[in-house]
Chains A and B, each alone.
Chain A
Amino acid sequence: MRSVGGLAALFLLLGIAGPWLAPHDPTQINIAHRLSPPGAEWLLGTDALGRDIVSRLLHGARWSLGLAFVISVAGLCIGTLVGLVAALGGRLADWALMRTTDTFLAFPDLVAAVVIAGVLGAGTGSLIFALTVTGWMRYARVARAVGVSLHSRGYVVQARLAGLWPAAIAFWHYLPSLLSSLMVVWTGMFARAVLGISALGFLGFGVQPPSPEWGTMLLDARIHMRSTPLQMLWPGLAVVGCVLAINLTGDALRDRLAEKDGHR
């Protein structure tokens, strides 16, 4: 648990402080040194335009983690709102919102994200939109399911009987009980967003060059696969390490919650 937390914290730190740690300008083109091997000056070498790979990776951490954070939190807010309104808003609202959720779930989500980002035109804005629109449904389902299970809790019955405003009931009595389950979903969706951002970047529909983003870097590196195969390794390793850290944190969180529930 501690080592997992440490790994996750390291990536978080890189995401925040990465740009300051970078030894070079990530977008500084230097054709004279293109495709340099790893060495003292360039720790992991340079890419086809002579840009320092270490610096690009460090700046890329901010793109990947920052955007993934924005996307997963936006999904969390939308999904929780939808789920709570469905749970509390009566049968018609429940039916309408849950069928809407099913509708969005009817697309394989990366395919949908590719279509949305591609159709709206490549760029950071459409990337965020595409991954948020395809990433709120799990929260809605969980929020609704846990919400419905709370309906017959004593304090919820009491609050409804007292005539408390539904939004206040949702905020004080439903939301706190939802948070732990939503956090587990959130870690999963955060990892999914990191993967989604790099996948769209790799397909050319994501963050646009010259911004250093791991998926876009992989796309560039792929062209020089035969001459400098090491180039492909680094952005991929960054994605894997990052996603692994988030996933393991999520697993640990889920285990701890399950344990807590078991003791009750």
Chain B
Amino acid sequence: MTGLVVGLILRAGVVLTGAALATFALLWHAPGDPALAIALARFDTVVPAAVIDQLRAEAGLDGGFWQAFLAWVAPLLVGDFGQSSVTGRDVWPDLVRAMSYTLPLALAGLLVGLIISLPLALVATRRPGGWLDRCAVGVAALGASIPAYWLGLLLIMLFAVRLGWLPATGARTPVHIVLPAVTLGLGVAASFTRILRSGILDARAQPFLPAFRRRGVACRDIARAHVAPHAAIPVVTVFGLELAFLLEGAVMVETIFARPGLGSFLVGAIEARDFPKVQAVVVFSALLFVTFNMIIDLIYRAIDPRIGEHNA
């Protein structure tokens, strides 16, 4: 087990290094002179070339690619995400503040998704192929096809503009989270319902279950001992996949609802060409993502004995 964990951590390290390199390479090759962008952002007027050169040296951009990469990665290893090239302030506190808006939204979205999908999947699988089941499948298919930003706009139109029940934009009060969370949660619910449904049906179709039933084992005992653990496997997988959905969903949803958070942080940074901030968001989300997937992988192995340790 320790060997497995070490192996997974090493693998995550390789992947994260690759991710950092890819991000840096993209921004390095981006069109436009980053030093000029900094100058424009700070002075807002035409500046002499000497100042731009000085800014370039300050930002560590005057050396080669690898020199600049190392200058960025080395502090990153000790948790220093660098300074904003526009404001000169540390990126990390701003990132934490953005996350403090995004994390509750993601969790609320997850909660909404679970509240909708769990009962739906359970009711649907009572009678597979029945009208309730068909409805659930149809609703899930529709839900998976609706872009979050459009759903958000529709909800704003209905609940904020027409009915005036809920606030549409900003994040001043806790009520402001309702519409964004529902927008996010409906998308989550769609894929949750699908996977839960097929997970439960698969678990019920295990070939040894009829034998138990014939031998008179109580249905409830079968469900608890054999159906539930089997159905848990796809659910764990889905949590892994949903994280990606929640993160990118949050980016879109925050933009629509003009909510502060990772989404507006990222879009703002891109528009200002504040590359240290962009790098920080991308690497931070990759770190979250890889860590989360690693944990999912471990849980997966713990609950599914069929996944051997050899394909680590």
State the Cβ distance, B105 to closest chain A Cβ, in Å: 14
Kindly list chain A residues whose C-beta atoms are within 8 Å of the C-beta of B244. 108-109
State the Cβ distance, A136 to closest chain B Cβ, in Å: 13
Contact with A along B283-303 (1 / 0, CB 8 A): 001100110000000000000
- Taking a contact as CB atoms under 8 Å apart, the answer to whether B270 and A115 are in contact is yes
- Interface size, chain B (Cβ < 8 Å): 47
- Taking a contact as CB atoms under 8 Å apart, the answer to whether B147 and A119 are in contact is no
Q: Which residue of A lies closest to B249 (CB)?
A: A110
The answer to the question of A111 belonging to the interface, with a C-beta cut-off of 8 Å to chain B, is: yes
* Majority secondary structure, B binding face: helix
- Taking a contact as CB atoms under 8 Å apart, the answer to whether B248 and A109 are in contact is yes
Kindly list chain A residues whose C-beta atoms are within 8 Å of the C-beta of B141. 244, 247-248, 251
Number of contact residues on A: which range applies? 35 or more
- Taking a contact as CB atoms under 8 Å apart, the answer to whether A202 and B18 are in contact is no
Partner of A103, one of B19, B32, B245: B19
Kindly list chain B residues whose C-beta atoms are within 8 Å of the C-beta of A247. 141, 144-145
- Taking a contact as CB atoms under 8 Å apart, the answer to whether B150 and A240 are in contact is yes
Total A-B residue pairs with C-beta atoms closer than 8 Å? 126
**In whole angstroms, how far apart are the Cα atoms of A205 and B252 in the complex?**
13
- Taking a contact as CB atoms under 8 Å apart, the answer to whether B251 and A232 are in contact is no
- Taking a contact as CB atoms under 8 Å apart, the answer to whether B16 and A114 are in contact is no
Partner of B153, one of A111, A225, A251: A225
Kindly list chain B residues whose C-beta atoms are within 8 Å of the C-beta of A118. 267, 270-271
- Taking a contact as CB atoms under 8 Å apart, the answer to whether A106 and B248 are in contact is no
- Taking a contact as CB atoms under 8 Å apart, the answer to whether A103 and B161 are in contact is no
The answer to the question of B120 belonging to the interface, with a C-beta cut-off of 8 Å to chain A, is: no
Most chain A CB within 10 A, of B14, B19, B145, B255, is at: B145
Kindly list chain A residues whose C-beta atoms are within 8 Å of the C-beta of B271. 118
Partner of A102, one of B11, B23, B149: B11
The answer to the question of B91 belonging to the interface, with a C-beta cut-off of 8 Å to chain A, is: no
**B115-159 with Cβ < 8 A to chain A:** 141-142, 144-147, 149-150, 153-154, 156-157
Contact with A along B197-228 (1 / 0, CB 8 A): 00000000000000000000000000000000
- Taking a contact as CB atoms under 8 Å apart, the answer to whether B18 and A103 are in contact is yes
- Taking a contact as CB atoms under 8 Å apart, the answer to whether B255 and A203 are in contact is yes
Contact with A along B1-44 (1 / 0, CB 8 A): 00000000001001110110011001100111000000000000
Partner of A116, one of B26, B145, B147, B247: B26
**A107-151 with Cβ < 8 A to chain B:** 107-112, 114-116, 118-121
Q: What would 6 more interface pairs be, CB under 8 Å, given A115-B281, A205-B270, A243-B146?
A: A99-B18, A106-B16, A108-B243, A111-B281, A202-B252, A236-B153
10 contacts between A and B (CB under 8 A): A111-B281, A111-B285, A116-B26, A199-B149, A203-B267, A218-B153, A225-B153, A225-B156, A236-B153, A251-B141
Interface residues of B, Cβ cutoff 8 Å to A = 11, 14-16, 18-19, 22-23, 26-27, 30-32, 141-142, 144-147, 149-150, 153-154, 156-157, 161, 243-245, 247-248, 251-252, 255, 266-267, 270-271, 273, 275, 278, 281-282, 285-286, 289-290
